[in-house]
Structure 1
Amino acid sequence: MNTNDIIYQQQQEQQERKPNFIEKLCSCIYYFRKKSNKTNDKYQLGIDTPKSHSRKVCVLDLDETLVHSQFKAENDHDFSLDIIVQSQLFKVYVTVRPGVENFIDTLSEYFEVIMWTASLKEYADPVMDIIDPSRRALTRLYRESCTPIQGGLTKNLSKLGRNLKDVIIIDNSQMSFIFQQENGYLIKDFIADKNDNELETLLPFLIWLSQQNDVRPVSQLFKQYFMNESIQRKHSKRQILSQSMILNNQNSNKKLDTKAQRTHTVNHCDIEEIELRAEANINSPNIEMKLNDQTDDESRETFEISNC
């Protein structure tokens, strides 16, 4: 995506420069295709056909969202393609975002999946065939389905012919959903990080979103979802700690009645657990906490515990 217009990259900043040969070539191809395929803009995409409208629609971008492609074998790419545009051969090296195939397969169980790219069909189709071999994405859309705006191209979701409350788009460029910003999820750019887990992290949220009456505003619902998840994880941890303390108390009752004091030193990594115990009121009434003066290591605290 760094060298020419076959693999499309949204222009974040407008810069005046002379287009290279390949960009001129692709611009000409796009112009003549558009001229020879004039159709009513309302029915341009041809996808508002009788389908399972009971399910919501998830639009997936391709480049820097699901894959990263370039014309040099610089990174540890996953596969390469030979594509022909106007009788000219190009070699493209493609790196796949971790978890793509499972992401698409799982997503298709909850959404009607559409792949929509601003790239040329000659490049995009072979890539889509590899990352979606089962054709879970029911529809594929390319550059000719995009809407030209100042500074690049955008994807007008209203052309899908669906109620926008049921449509979400996942894209690495905000320009792609500039007309329907509440429907867009701005995903982190993918280049070549094999430890990337964006798709794995995003999937539970999308499954939850598929069950909501309205997917908008996507970004706000995303924050709300993970905030609730964090609260639930804390609650689960409190329950585990509570059960653990009950077991400990039962074991301590079996010991001798003589009082014995012991000192337990903890690191600050244990503070969260101690706080959770305090919030849940599960500390023993005979536990006293005292902070000793420690000049050699201020990151450690000493707790004196009296066992009955």
Structure 2
Amino acid sequence: MESKSDKLIIFDLDETLIHANGAELGYPAHFMFDAYYVYERPGVRSFLSDIARHFTIGIWSSASDDYVAEIVDHIMPATIEPLVVWGRSKCTMKRDYEYDTYYYEKRLDKLKKKGFRLEQILIVDDSPEKARTNYGNAVYIKEFTGDGNDKELQFLFNYLLTFKTTANVRTVEKRGWRNFSS
């Protein structure tokens, strides 16, 4: 078997791996959480199983900690033990002065205590503002809104594999990653 990379990939939850909605979308939800209908991005479980064979993985969302833990319990294959399952309590609240709003930012330097340098960490998220200070680490994925025909994880898998032996993930240009051809 091929060896596992020394890289860590952090995945966002909402609109990246799942979509939670207060109303059904016209087809049955995969499961319910509280008053939310939760839809898994097509192929998410096999994607997580496959990517975990190559990388250490974690989940980090700006949603409440209990929500994150419950959703991860539903979607994470039993054979995978994520390095972290973090929610809002691990985020840093930031203010957008232009719009006078607040948002939660995921500061990847918090993962140093887990033994990973920033040069070894990728974050996959649909919200650029949540990884603003980690620009060189971020792979921005198309927002998932429940489309049962979504194929984003298929494209993402092949792209992420290109980082297995990269010395410093921050030096790789990630804009336009969908144009990558294997």
TM-score, scaled relative to structure 1: 0.51
Q: Give the deviation of 1:77 after TM superposition.
A: 3.9
Amino acid at match of 2:111: L
The question of 1:100 aligning with 2:60 is answered no
Q: List structure 1 segments (4+ residues) > 6 angstroms apart after TM superposition.
A: none
- Secondary structure, counterpart of 2:14 in structure 1: coil
**Correspondence for 1:202:** 156
Matched, 1:113 2:57: yes
Report 1:4-15 matches (<5 A).
none
RMSD: 2.2
Q: CA deviation at 1:167?
A: 0.4
Count the aligned residue pairs.
169
- Counterpart for residue 148 of structure 1: 93
Q: 2:84 aligns with which of 129, 132, 139?
A: 139
Higher relative contact order (CA 8 A, sep 6+): 2
Residues 1:62 and 2:2 aligned together = no
Q: Please give the per-residue CA displacement for 1:22-45, whole angstroms capped at 9, x wherever unaligned.
A: xxxxxxxxxxxxxxxxxxxxxxxx
How far has the Cα of 1:186 moved from its partner?
0.7
> Which structure carries more helix by proportion?
1
* Preserved contact between residue 114 and residue 138 of structure 1 (Cα < 8 Å): yes
CA contact (8 A) 1:205 1:222 kept: no
Distance 1:54 1:68, change over 3 A: closer
Find the aligned partners of 2:22 and 2:69 in 1 and give their Cα distance: 17
Deviation track 1:153-178 (CA, whole Å, cap 9, x = no partner) reads: 11000110021110000000001110
Deviations 1:165-196 (A, max 9, x none): 10000000001110010110110000011111
Q: 1:128 aligns with which of 63, 72, 80?
A: 72
Among 171, 178, 182, the alignment partner of 2:132 is 178
Distance 1:56 1:65, change over 3 A: same
Shift of the alpha carbon at 1:215? 1.2
**CA deviation digits over 1:233-290, x for unaligned, max 9?**
xxxxxxxxxxxxxxxxxxxxxxxxxxxxxxxxxxxxxxxxxxxxxxxxxxxxxxxxxx
CA–CA separation in structure 2 for the residues paired with 1:213 and 1:142: 29
Paired amino acid for 1:208: T
Residue 66 of structure 2 aligns to a residue whose secondary structure is helix
Q: Which amino acid aligns with 1:212?
A: T
Number of the residue aligned with 1:169: 123
Aligned positions of 1:1-308 closer than 5 A: 55-82=6-33, 90-134=34-78, 135-150=80-95, 151-161=102-112, 162-220=116-174, 223=177, 226=180, 229=182
Aligned residue in 2 for 1:268: none
Which of these two proteins has the greater Rg computed from alpha carbons?
A: 1
Aligned residues: percent identity? 29
Determine if contact 1:69/1:94 at 8 Å carries over to the other structure. Answer: yes
Deviation at 1:223, TM superposition (A): 4.3
Unaligned runs of 5+ in 2: 96-101
What is the alpha-carbon distance in structure 1 between the residues aligned to residue 38 and residue 178 of structure 2? 35
